[in-house]
Chain A
């Protein structure tokens, strides 16, 4: 793969070649666990992106749902129906399709909230570390206060406040935004602290002083010089935080303050299925639960590998 790109001189191909020749790709090929995790993560992304094309049924198409199919067990069990591989729920919806649509929602909210907390955390951390003084003290005290509560509690708090502000008839429409905001705002601290630390190191390096001597505006020094040099660890945190954000969303949905059952995420599916666990229809909640666990595990393993691969001391 690398060889065919050798002759091409374009920047993108150059970058690709460097990537495949580089240490990171090498360490990737040396870690079977990571390769499996990457494959699973990729599978989820693929399902999320092409959900409607991949799913065997449309769980939201009321016309295709009949109560006759309700509560069917997985296909390999007695009374199982080959049309519904993982069985159906109490309303006759295909559990597999619901999982595919649900992980789509979970990933969307996970990504969006990670991006929100990343922008917020990196921005505040950069300002905090670069400017220092009273602004730094203020931002860091806020961060420490927030850090002294469990982040799911913060997310619940923000969620509650936002729901209180929004009018009732709009709540269903804004459920996504509320979730993204509450998870995003509860997770920025880790980015801010990491970025602040590396910014304080970079700020005193001579290349930053050289930029000051040239007379570059401080905002531009932060943006052009320091930011690219502090983003490495952020990438690792973001990967691990993606898993945490997906869990946070599932937790909120499980507690009933997340997405409504009409637009189920994995967390909503688990909550709804939970009611039928003891009446024997275990598949309604176990399969979404397993899907969530596998997704989070895969993303986490990927994050762990990335952390080690980017750490020069472990090479």
Chain B
């Protein structure tokens, strides 16, 4: 087993381009996805309504290095899950490119995508909906093995399924059971085993723990960390639990209304949040130490993504907004400490430095 792991790590030696620079596992550029949510054509003609376009993802750029964990946070409806579905190819992008180790996979057809599919898998949010209730667990986990033809013959497939179940700390004999015989946390382990079955390098995790009991969340996160170490996996980790994101991510991106407003190394983002929205978001983390920190309650609501506000989409809720913010869309700009922020106020230096925050407490049970 140990030998196999070492071999695997060697195989995962970082891919470099001609200049010897490390190629990013995932590079997303100018990614957009619009949904047409207009009324049917006839209604539109009669009621003289314009087309209604929902901008779920409206031009985002980021990179994820090999073996890195990239956290993506934001309120509900900001487009996090759409990003996940775009990357794994469940949606085609309206515009922009998605490069997996230097190869553009955006908008490829099912056949063209086939060779890339094996290396890119997804873990879903709801462990009760993500496993087919009519299939035995062994068939669920064997599906990618059969689809990618990774093992020859029934005996080899069974052995591989048993290995995978043990990898996620379940019993090899659990394969005989049906999903309803397992708890939420166990189902999420099965879901992870299925995702690992095709020996992927990159896992998109769309809120993998938010449907779980708090006590189970830590177990799943620890398992994911162990697997990352063992197989050299790269994660895109989507969540709205900020404490979890801080402790599992290397870098974090903050999304607001289809745009990335700030990307920074986890520690930088949580100690010195720049963007006013990031500050507002971090202010909502429960303060268990009761430091008596002054809190500004979250004011206002996320605007409708069909008719986003002009200029910076955050300006209606922003205490620092001025005329420029209401008119001009801010571009992401890198700062000296590696953070990338899209904010006119930060660029102009007119926003006072936020208070240095204490880092979020480690969730109970997280290694």
Contact = CB atoms under 8 A, between A and B. Distances in A.
B113 A215 contact: yes
Interface in B118-133: 120-122, 124-126, 129-133
A211 interface: yes
A215 B90 CA distance: 10
A216 B147 contact: yes
Interface residues of B, number: 27
A49 B309 CA distance: 73
Interface in A231-286: none
Contact of B124 (A210, A216, A217, A229): A210
B129 A206 contact: yes
A117 to B, nearest CB: 24
A207 B132 contact: yes
B332 interface: no
B225 interface: no
Given A209-B124, A210-B194, A215 B117 contact: yes
B89 A207 contact: no
Contact of A211 (B113, B120, B129, B143): B143
B71 interface: no
A217 B120 CA distance: 17
B144 interface: yes
A214 interface: yes
Given A206-B125, A229-B133, A214 B144 contact: yes
Interface residues of A, number: 15
Contacts of B191: 210
B144 A207 contact: no
A83 interface: no
Contacts of B97: none
B239 interface: no
A206 B133 contact: no
Nearest to A229: B134
Given A214-B147, A214-B198, A216-B143, A229 B132 contact: yes
Contact of A206 (B126, B143, B147, B148): B126
Residue of A205, A216, A225 most packed against chain B (CB within 10 A) = A205
B88 interface: yes
A150 interface: no
B126 A213 contact: no
A234 to B, nearest CB: 14
A109 B31 CA distance: 58
Contacts of A211: 143
A213 B124 CA distance: 11
B117 A213 contact: yes
A212 B90 contact: yes
Contact of A215 (B110, B126, B133): B110
Nearest to B197: A214
Contacts of B131: 207
A312 interface: no
The 6 closest A-B pairs by CB, nearest first: A206-B130, A206-B124, A228-B134, A215-B117, A206-B129, A207-B132
13 contacts: A206-B130, A207-B130, A207-B133, A209-B90, A210-B124, A210-B130, A213-B89, A213-B117, A213-B122, A215-B147, A217-B110, A228-B134, A229-B133
Interface of A: 205-207, 209-217, 225, 228-229
